[in-house]
Copies of this chain bind each other. A is one copy, B any other.
């Protein structure tokens, strides 16, 4: 059994022991030790080495037996064949935490997988929790800890960003970029094969960790999605979580499998999961790091309106383009702002938004302009563009003026776009000390600001309770238990309709009929056109074989249809009588689709979209994981162009959207109540021409058992 794991002790070990250090400079085992020492670890370091007396001035032991204490943590970087034995010795010594750096396990095939299972068995036996194998270690930059037990290429800059990475190599690359942008980290964990500890295990710690204001996450596969989803949602409610999602394409998923043996979740399900948790998904390495920098330093914007301050026109235009491309707004300033700017700036300057102070702008011009623009109530955030100007100021001088002007406690985010070679006069560290992140190009600042606004908006929404509809669950259970399934696992149509009716979906009136007179009785009672469908387990696609007769308006229509269906029935199964489903005929020119698909890894995905011939052509569909909140449902509808489309129906009322929301929530409840439903299509759902009524007119439900 797995033991409770002590995340505090993991990040703050008072002592550690390293297996696999080396005397040889340049070797992995030597570099690692130097990294630990150089970063200034405050605890005790013990080394185990078969022959050396000391390395880098630290005495070596032959085994754990001679250690004066039981270390809090073991770091193992020996040959793969030795790892199990050493882990066992740690267990015997009473060590409960380990970092297994050695590679050559699950990622290399069957023999490796067996070796990894062996590690897990040992860990369970002794109550050891470990990261890895096949990982790059971890670090904690807290001033009282200063433990760098990783292959980070250069010393990390202390800061407030925590980073969990499944890929060690990518983490190294990201760390390099982060250092060049001067992004600081609180914690870093390379998760490797995730044989034992996964990102899910670290989420509660990061939730409480006061040193970590932002969390970065790189993962190639998901494990235990339910716990992960819950932990991630709770974390996102408190602090921003940025996700660099990989394995989005089919070939990449293949690569992910061969890389760490992880099964990449279906892209759409994973996207839905992150969106529902409030995590910020990013696709590009540079966006990932730049956005983290912004969250790490700047306050969240209170709105989407951005003021742009520049000393050159072209870059100003590009900045506006970049901002509007990501959905932010660059609107004219208030009149009073324009007047103040007009007084401050030379005649050639532009005082609209963007403010072009022209190339003669000095550090004082920058300061005063920023002041005026920040004071404009119609501005929620400011982007300051500094193009290396051929005049006598430097970014550093501008930074110092900003320091005097506002210090670090401004309420609106100020992003610096420094389109210039970075040198000792770039002032990046001063800007960062003022909580103004520095970017090299407008796109990075725009992207980051848009992510911050999106997160701010999401976070300000109240938490939503799941809605539980009142339905006769027992009767539904009964229907499913009695269900006749086709060989492929589809529910007989009449049973699917009963289930939908029980769950309160808007379905047409229907009845099962066994002779013509019954149909005619119904026609006389209902007073509406009818549909007749032949019910037969032999028929898979009813429409294709003519087993569906629609829009029957007269008794003679009905007689004719009945005869044809009876004839068809006799062809399929000689000398039997037709059994038919009779339904009210629903017409309308607008079709929608909704449905459920069960993802092997993440569970039920609810879908909604434009229906009819448009489904496959336009792929205007949105997905979310069940269970849905009403907000999830509304967001799905808004994510596609469905809402615009609904709005254009003749009689526009909010009602239509709420009716569709209702259908999605019922779908969610149905699959939560009955997880054995593996797929469900409501296609089409017809919107009546007056825009007032949605009706499910066809259903296909797959059920894999109780």
Q: When A and B form their complex, which 4 residue pairs have the shortest distance between CB atoms, in order from nearest?
A: A167-B314, A169-B312, A259-B313, A170-B314
When distances are taken between beta carbons in the complex, the residues of chain B under 8 Å from A359 are 103, 169
Could you tell me the distance in whole angstroms from the C-beta of A108 to the nearest C-beta in chain B? Answer: 4
Q: Which residue of B lies closest to A250 (CB)?
A: B324
Interface contact B285-A441, CB-CB below 8 Å: yes
Known: A441-B286, A443-B284. A613 touches B645 (CB 8 A): yes
The one of B218, B316, B387 in contact with A314, judged by C-beta atoms closer than 8 angstroms, is B218
When distances are taken between beta carbons in the complex, the residues of chain B under 8 Å from A103 are 348, 358-359
Interface contact A354-B387, CB-CB below 8 Å: no
When distances are taken between beta carbons in the complex, the residues of chain B under 8 Å from A316 are 255, 259
When distances are taken between beta carbons in the complex, the residues of chain B under 8 Å from A330 are 249, 251-252
5 pairs across A/B with beta carbons < 8 Å? A255-B320, A258-B352, A284-B322, A284-B441, A617-B644
The one of B170, B252, B618 in contact with A320, judged by C-beta atoms closer than 8 angstroms, is B252
Known: A252-B324, A259-B356, A390-B31. A247 touches B172 (CB 8 A): no
Q: Which residue of B lies closest to A642 (CB)?
A: B617
Query: In the assembly, what is the distance between CA of A270 and CA of B312, in Å?
Result: 23
Query: In the assembly, what is the distance between CA of A390 and CA of B387, in Å?
Result: 37
Interface contact A255-B151, CB-CB below 8 Å: no
When distances are taken between beta carbons in the complex, the residues of chain B under 8 Å from A443 are 284-286
When distances are taken between beta carbons in the complex, the residues of chain B under 8 Å from A387 are 169-170, 172-173
The one of B104, B246, B421 in contact with A317, judged by C-beta atoms closer than 8 angstroms, is B246
Query: In the assembly, what is the distance between CA of A109 and CA of B314, in Å?
Result: 18
Interface contact B169-A314, CB-CB below 8 Å: yes
Q: Which residue of B lies closest to A285 (CB)?
A: B441
Interface contact A356-B255, CB-CB below 8 Å: yes
Query: In the assembly, what is the distance between CA of A501 and CA of B170, in Å?
Result: 64
The interface size bin for chain A is 35 or more
Query: In the assembly, what is the distance between CA of A275 and CA of B402, in Å?
Result: 44
When distances are taken between beta carbons in the complex, the residues of chain B under 8 Å from A285 are 318, 419, 441-443
Residues 242-293 (chain A) with a chain B CB within 8 angstroms: 244, 246-252, 254-256, 258-260, 283-286
Residues 292-327 (chain A) with a chain B CB within 8 angstroms: 311-318, 320-325
Q: Does A400 contact B (CB under 8 A)?
A: no
The one of B176, B321, B641 in contact with A618, judged by C-beta atoms closer than 8 angstroms, is B641
Interface contact A324-B249, CB-CB below 8 Å: yes
Query: In the assembly, what is the distance between CA of A179 and CA of B420, in Å?
Result: 11
Q: Which residue of B lies closest to A421 (CB)?
A: B176
When distances are taken between beta carbons in the complex, the residues of chain B under 8 Å from A314 are 165-171, 218, 220, 246, 259
Interface contact B153-A421, CB-CB below 8 Å: yes
Q: Does A350 contact B (CB under 8 A)?
A: yes
Query: In the assembly, what is the distance between CA of A104 and CA of B252, in Å?
Result: 54
Could you tell me the distance in whole angstroms from the C-beta of A608 to the nearest C-beta in chain B? Answer: 16
Q: Mark A475-486, 1 if CB is under 8 A from B, else 0.
A: 000000000000
Known: A154-B421, A167-B313. 7 other contacts (CB 8 A): A169-B389, A172-B419, A180-B421, A248-B321, A255-B316, A285-B441, A613-B648
The one of B28, B317, B648 in contact with A616, judged by C-beta atoms closer than 8 angstroms, is B648
Interface contact B246-A321, CB-CB below 8 Å: yes
Interface centre among A169, A329, A391, A614 (most CB of B within 10 A): A169
Q: Mark A379-409, 1 if CB is under 8 A from B, else 0.
A: 0000000011111100000000000000000
When distances are taken between beta carbons in the complex, the residues of chain B under 8 Å from A286 are 441, 443
Interface contact B331-A176, CB-CB below 8 Å: no
Interface contact B151-A318, CB-CB below 8 Å: no
Interface centre among A108, A246, A440 (most CB of B within 10 A): A246
Interface contact B390-A255, CB-CB below 8 Å: no
Q: Does A56 contact B (CB under 8 A)?
A: no
Q: Which residue of B lies closest to A169 (CB)?
A: B312
Interface contact B420-A173, CB-CB below 8 Å: yes
When distances are taken between beta carbons in the complex, the residues of chain B under 8 Å from A324 are 248-252
The one of B170, B180, B391 in contact with A315, judged by C-beta atoms closer than 8 angstroms, is B170
Interface contact B388-A313, CB-CB below 8 Å: no
Residues 349-383 (chain A) with a chain B CB within 8 angstroms: 350, 352-354, 356, 358-359
Interface contact A419-B325, CB-CB below 8 Å: no
Interface contact A350-B255, CB-CB below 8 Å: yes
Known: A259-B350, A387-B169. A176 touches B617 (CB 8 A): no
Could you tell me the distance in whole angstroms from the C-beta of A397 to the nearest C-beta in chain B? Answer: 14
Query: In the assembly, what is the distance between CA of A320 and CA of B249, in Å?
Result: 7
Q: Does A465 contact B (CB under 8 A)?
A: no
Interface contact A388-B255, CB-CB below 8 Å: no
When distances are taken between beta carbons in the complex, the residues of chain B under 8 Å from A218 are 314
Q: Does A462 contact B (CB under 8 A)?
A: no
Query: In the assembly, what is the distance between CA of A306 and CA of B502, in Å?
Result: 53
Interface contact B104-A348, CB-CB below 8 Å: yes
Q: Does A656 contact B (CB under 8 A)?
A: no
Q: Does A107 contact B (CB under 8 A)?
A: yes
Q: Which residue of B lies closest to A329 (CB)?
A: B251
Interface contact B246-A318, CB-CB below 8 Å: yes
Q: Which residue of B lies closest to A308 (CB)?
A: B255
Interface contact B618-A283, CB-CB below 8 Å: no
Q: Does A474 contact B (CB under 8 A)?
A: no
Known: A283-B325, A325-B248, A441-B284. A173 touches B260 (CB 8 A): no
Interface contact A390-B28, CB-CB below 8 Å: yes
Interface contact B256-A220, CB-CB below 8 Å: no
Q: Does A347 contact B (CB under 8 A)?
A: yes
Known: A284-B441, A353-B251, A613-B645. A312 touches B170 (CB 8 A): yes
Query: In the assembly, what is the distance between CA of A166 and CA of B313, in Å?
Result: 10
Interface contact B613-A388, CB-CB below 8 Å: no
Query: In the assembly, what is the distance between CA of A129 and CA of B479, in Å?
Result: 88
Interface contact A315-B173, CB-CB below 8 Å: yes
